[in-house]
Structure 1
Amino acid sequence: MLHWASYAFVRLTLALMAGILTCLYFGETLPVLVWPLAGLVGVFLIIQWRMWRHPNPAVADKAGLLALAAVYVAGAAFMQQATESRRPDHLYRFGQKIEFYRAVVDDYTVVRPATYATTVRVSAVRVAGRWQPAVGGIRISVPRDSGVTAPQYGDLWLVRGAPAPSKAPLNPGEFDYRRYLQYHQVYHQQFIHPDQYQRIGIAPPSLLKAAAMRAARVLDGVFRQYVVARREYALASALVLGIKDDIDQETKQAYANTGTTHIMAVSGLQVGLLFGAVSGLLGWLPGRRGPWFRLLTALLGLAVIWSYAFLTGLSASVLRAAVMFTFIIVARASQRQTNMFNTLAVAAFCLLCYDPYLLCDVGFQLSFLAVISIVYLQPRIGAWLDVKNYFLEKQRPWQPKPVQKAWKATSWTLDKVWQATALSLAAQVATFPLGLFYFHQFPLSFLFSNLVAVPISSGAVYVGLALLALKGIVALVGLLSSGLGQALDVVPQAVAWVFEKMIWLFNEYIFWIGRTMPGALISGIHVTAPQAWLVFGIILTLLAFFRLKKLVWLGLACLLMGSFAGSRVWAAHRLAPDEQLIVYSIPRRSVLGFWQGAAAHIVSADSLPLTETERTYRIVPGIIQREARAVSYHTRWRGSSVPALADTAAQPGMVLAVWRGVRVALVSGPLAGARRPVPAEVVVLRRNARVWPEDLAAVFSPAAIIVFDSSCKSWYVESMRKRLQPIGWQLHDVAMQGAFVWQVGSIDAPNR
């Protein structure tokens, strides 16, 4: 008979996750699963009814397996129901026929240097002069022109024009923003000009969330008022409220390089600190062993964490942490916490039933894996060294009292340091494969960073919350007596000074770690999804070996290690002879890449070199994907040894590069004086080159592919398309179709 007692929900959650993953990867081929699910549930209830009347252990086993099958199908069915694009009234069904649409702002507004970005949810569209219901999410951008106010949650808009489907990644290896949006039920994007939309009312989808977001902005105003230094204010708001709008790129990179980015996101750390503070304060009360104390602790704990979730705007990360701690608190209060893994599984099960797409959320994955790893591994790692007793044994009866107290204090302090080290190591074990897969790097300095950063940031959270509470009290007093309120304002000012200095110290320490250990960051790691699963398998089998002491698990771990190493060797072997010419899609730039295996020359045909942002988001992902080791950047061909430049004096307005037998002509000016034929497989038109079809026909072969690079305007591309396409030219627009890739040596060379 199957034993469900301790791990019932662990197995049910795994079955639910398996169903969600099945629908995620094979959803297009699956039928509607609501009726099969209803059938499975009906059969299960009939079996349970018969079991109640006539108990039978053999039938009980089959009922258990049937329950797992039902949960598996339920996972896939929930995923189908949560996918808006399957609905008959989704925006996809209307295409470009939409004349107007009505939508409400349904997300935070991200402030960018030139635009505001947010998400709107459509409620109706007008097609052929008639309004009809519709659903769908659109990621919109609005220019930050004078007179344009930032979109606010709940704003009801009337927008002219049809949104476009989200774009696929434009360059090799680039982050798939389209898939990220789809996981949030957003399938369209649109850049909206100020004269293209009108605010016609306020209708927030959730009044509670609207109030929470306003509360978060009010509290953010307190930090803005009292924390003077801009960098410290930005980090303070992120640390306590989760608002990261004002954090500069340098600070974000410093925290990423030291493995402390999680501190800037309001999540389980802050919620756990609050619950720990409540439990610690209540621990001073008498009679704390009685049932009333458990109930009081649970009620106050729930009130505190959910109040905090409200005051931070009910963001997804803090909601996830609040739900997780809610189940832990309830299980502890009811004394039904037989197994922490089962409690976590209940929390994950409920969250996934509410939104199956949470399984695709990086924060969800990292949070639960880190907590599971801490629960299992932290006590075992902490038991490796008995730091506390080691130093306590150093005490001797003849030693002076100050010496004995010093040994006692040392044992307590170093034991806390060791336990914090064990916790950090435990969290890294489970999240290590995901860190490689999503972020392509691993900070070796994470221990040094977290040992100091976590205590300082934890103290800063308490001080920051105390500042908000004191400011609230002073504001209430100020309503009764403005003079007394102004006099008492010195108290929050003093607390704010301490708060700012703690944030400054925290920030300086992170930057100091980055400067002191610049080589501690291993970056540029590319791990595929199957390889990440292999790493997880290696970790699990090694843990099973240490737990069960059976060689079969060690042998399986070695087999998985061999498979992982073999996959890496095969990938490198397959890549070695690969040669590609790439015309990148980088806004307003002309950039070509000449790739040979793991080496590349990146040439900017413009007079300006690529910026760090352009490299990081457009070029580097492809470098990581190919695990390139020798990449050189060149501006206007200077220092580039790969291409051989032709004599441009004979061909005005054109540069000819020859590489690995591929001839690439870059045209940026008129070809009226260039009537000599030029053999070229690829013709790149740059900077709205003023050329005519007859000029192109006179200079290049009709078999050549015409590529419009990102320096060409959309009106120019459309104009040239109308002239060139009817006469048989092959065309490629990198701004719309993504980077142009020519596979050298392939029969079908263009890979678009």
Structure 2
Amino acid sequence: MSLRLPLISAVMASAGLLLFISSRWPASLRYRYDWCRGIALQWLVAAGGCVLVLLSDVRYHGYYFERSIRPGDLLQVRLEEPVQAKKKTLKTIAAIRYVISGNTRVPAKGRLLIYLQIDSNAMQLRQGDQLLINSNTVPVSRSGNPGAFDYRRYCAWQQIYRQAYLQSSAWQLLHEQDECFVRRWLRESRIYCLQTLQQYIGGREAALAAALLIGYRYELDVDMVQDYTNTGIVHIIAISGMHLAMIYGALLWLLSWWPAHRFSDVTKGTLIIVLLWAFTLLTGGAASVLRATVMFTFLTLGRFMLERHTNVYNTLAASAFLLLCYEPRLLLDVGFQLSYLAVLSIVVAYRRLYYQWQFDNKWMNKCWDMTALTLAAQLFTLPVSLYYFHQFPLYFLPANMIAVPLSTVVLYGEIVLLITGRIPVIADVIGPLLKIIMQCMNTLVAQIGHWPGALIADMHIHLFSVLCLYACIGGLLLWIIHHRRQGLQLTLIAMTCWTTGEMFLRLNEQHQHKMVVYNIPGHTVVEMVNGHRIYSVAGEVMADALYDRYLKPAHVVYGATYRGMVNTCVEACTFPGFRVLAVGNKRLVVVDSVLPEMHPEKKLRTDYLLLSHNPHVDIRQLEQIFDADCYIFDASNTLRNIQQWKSDCYVLTLRFFSVPDQGAYVVNF
């Protein structure tokens, strides 16, 4: 920040100076060089955005906890999320409130990813509880495997940079209650919603109901989520702008009896805005919900208070500007991007598509209306969806046609259920009815998800391809809507660039030669990439689930079309305690057991030395036997052994690479 902030300040000062000087030019000169003022203004806005990004980074804040902790200090934290059960641990996110050093308690800021040892006390922790923990934190881990999801980067955009694993004796529950009224009301409201839904609906449908209503997704069934993902309607179970639009429409309908009057309009507008923001806070304030809330706030202000009709493009741009000023990192949030692209796509294409066909039959017209809306929403979201998720649900249209109406009924029914939750006679009727509707919806969605060819997977595209796709879409819209021949020319140019880029990419793939040591906990896997062929060099055979999670994304990225066995490309020499493998024009030594006492006259020359499955060896012993360019510690070793080996390498000034710490080891040759 010490270097970037002065540079950004210099850009802002230059842009401001240019704007000031240009304002003193004669009118004729200002008109001729007005583009200079435009460029200066863009510089000023962009530099201001960079300043906001830097200033919003908690690491540069004076109270960031890493600036003040010392060995032996404690951290007082508050749990921001419910505790989630994983395979071997419990996971949650905590906000740091104080650094405790001796008898001193210093206010601190920051967020921490916490993994807890599973026990009865940890299972009883709830959102909002405060804990006293030790300050032994490490950077957020990541696999670093090619094509894998970068979890460290994902956490960083949420301002989470450190994580901690806490055994049962490493934390203590504090009985402090210093929540503000709003936070306490939101927590109690959320608890009431969850308890009511569980009481009157129950089962996995209660978890689905909680996700539909308040965005509580921590108890969703994994198979059910996969069914909704395969059919392209996962937005149904992720609280979004669609849900807020339903609530906004319901509020307008409920308040339609109120006679129009200046005072009543202001009261209605205020009530709608308060209820919308209360619902947004209750759901946790996801990016898509914030977008919809800000937009509906502008619409309400214009309609009920200012008596003006707003331009939807201005409203969309203003809401994005305000949200990015509040949190600049939302720009890279997938939900934020898809939400704005979907709304922009609907605004641009929905009406034009809908009026292409009109039906005399009322229900046919409504069906076409929903179809046009669904198709229009896909126009601008498709390239981004392919870029992030690498798949395309082929039957998204019938799935939406079924799930959207049913989920609308469920959402309104849940609101009625919560209102009548204290009246068992009514709630006992509504709850089972909602459960039956959700069971029907889940069954239909699951059946659609298992139709032949329901999901086209492994569609890996690069950012350049995304830009070309948007250029094609923009050109087609310009040609079809405005009848501009330049739009067709732009489309053809974009398609040519896209095809040329893909051709160069495939040519590069044919000439690639890599060695990859994967980061798979408890396993050793080393592969060699040779063109479009991938060979297993060392390690065990992966189960299907592990292959799909760790290896398949890398094979898709590298364009692998063939997987070979170890004996097709490797000449292996086995000695007591280690193996010597030829990987292309490099030599790899794998040490996975105890080495015998060896005192060679000449050290064995190797490019890479891989320690696997916790061999009882000492780095000094290895250094006397091997002349290795790089020592590699893979994820099959314990962290304690890796830490000891790293310390020895530091002392002996040996080059090393720790796969669990630094991610998969990829080398080109």
Asked if Structure 1 and Structure 2 have the same fold, meaning a TM-score greater than 0.5 normalized by the shorter chain, the answer is yes
- Counterpart residue type for residue 431 of structure 1: T
Superposed CA deviations along residues 422-442 of structure 1, whole A, max 9, x for unmatched, are 111111111111101111112
Task: State whether structure 2 residue 399 is matched by structure 1 residue 449.
Answer: yes
CA contact (8 A) 2:78 2:96 kept: no
- Counterpart residue type for residue 313 of structure 2: F
Deviation at 1:655, TM superposition (A): 4.4
**TM alignment of 1:515-534, pairs within 5 A:** 515-517=450-452, 519-534=453-468
Deviation at 1:733, TM superposition (A): 2.0
Sort the Cα spacing of 1:287 and 1:158 in 2 relative to 1 into closer, same or farther, 3 A: closer
**Paired residue for 1:265?**
238
**Paired residue for 1:373?**
345
**Paired residue for 1:594?**
528
Residue of structure 2 aligned with 1:626, choices 554, 558, 563: 558
CA contact (8 A) 1:99 1:161 kept: yes
Sort the Cα spacing of 1:568 and 1:707 in 2 relative to 1 into closer, same or farther, 3 A: same
Unaligned runs of 5+ in 1: 1-25, 393-410, 475-488, 633-638, 745-752
Deviation at 1:221, TM superposition (A): 1.3
d(CA) in 2 for partners of 1:362, 1:449: 22
Sort the Cα spacing of 1:656 and 1:554 in 2 relative to 1 into closer, same or farther, 3 A: same
RMSD between aligned residues: 3.7
d(CA) in 1 for partners of 2:583, 2:501: 31
Residue of structure 2 aligned with 1:668, choices 592, 599, 605: 592
**Paired residue for 1:427?**
377
- Counterpart residue type for residue 308 of structure 1: F
d(CA) in 2 for partners of 1:471, 1:265: 24
**TM alignment of 1:74-153, pairs within 5 A:** 74-91=48-65, 93=67, 97-105=70-78, 107-113=80-86, 114-125=88-99, 134-149=108-123, 151-153=125-127
**Paired residue for 2:176?**
202
- Counterpart residue type for residue 533 of structure 2: A
TM-score of the two chains, using structure 1 as the length reference: 0.79
**TM alignment of 1:502-651, pairs within 5 A:** 502-517=437-452, 519-602=453-536, 605-606=539-540, 609-610=542-543, 612=545, 614-631=546-563, 640-644=566-570, 646=572, 648=574, 651=575
Superposed CA deviations along residues 129-150 of structure 1, whole A, max 9, x for unmatched, are 9765543322222222232245
Number of residue pairs matched by the alignment? 663
d(CA) in 2 for partners of 1:99, 1:715: 20
d(CA) in 1 for partners of 2:16, 2:647: 59
Sort the Cα spacing of 1:274 and 1:130 in 2 relative to 1 into closer, same or farther, 3 A: closer
Any idea what SS the aligned residue of 1:623 has? helix
d(CA) in 2 for partners of 1:413, 1:64: 54
Deviation at 1:175, TM superposition (A): 1.8
Task: State whether structure 2 residue 6 is matched by structure 1 residue 31.
Answer: yes
**Paired residue for 1:360?**
332
CA contact (8 A) 1:102 1:158 kept: yes
Superposed CA deviations along residues 645-700 of structure 1, whole A, max 9, x for unmatched, are 6465xx344444444344433332222178898765433222211235576467x5
- Counterpart residue type for residue 397 of structure 2: L
CA contact (8 A) 1:444 1:522 kept: yes
Identity of paired residues, percent? 27
d(CA) in 1 for partners of 2:289, 2:226: 23
Superposed CA deviations along residues 342-368 of structure 1, whole A, max 9, x for unmatched, are 112222222122112211211111111
Unaligned runs of 5+ in 2: none
Superposed CA deviations along residues 304-324 of structure 1, whole A, max 9, x for unmatched, are 433433443555543443222
Deviation at 1:381, TM superposition (A): 0.7
- Counterpart residue type for residue 244 of structure 1: R
Any idea what SS the aligned residue of 1:347 has? helix
Deviation at 1:582, TM superposition (A): 1.2
d(CA) in 1 for partners of 2:104, 2:263: 62
Residue of structure 2 aligned with 1:684, choices 604, 610, 617: 610
Task: State whether structure 2 residue 294 is matched by structure 1 residue 323.
Answer: yes
**Paired residue for 1:485?**
none
Sort the Cα spacing of 1:438 and 1:27 in 2 relative to 1 into closer, same or farther, 3 A: farther
**Paired residue for 2:356?**
384
d(CA) in 1 for partners of 2:33, 2:645: 71
CA contact (8 A) 1:115 1:141 kept: yes
d(CA) in 1 for partners of 2:519, 2:413: 47
CA contact (8 A) 2:143 2:664 kept: no
Deviation at 1:609, TM superposition (A): 3.2
**Paired residue for 1:218?**
192
- Counterpart residue type for residue 731 of structure 1: F
Deviation at 1:256, TM superposition (A): 1.3
Task: State whether structure 2 residue 417 is matched by structure 1 residue 417.
Answer: no
Task: State whether structure 2 residue 497 is matched by structure 1 residue 497.
Answer: no
d(CA) in 2 for partners of 1:726, 1:311: 54
**Paired residue for 2:221?**
248
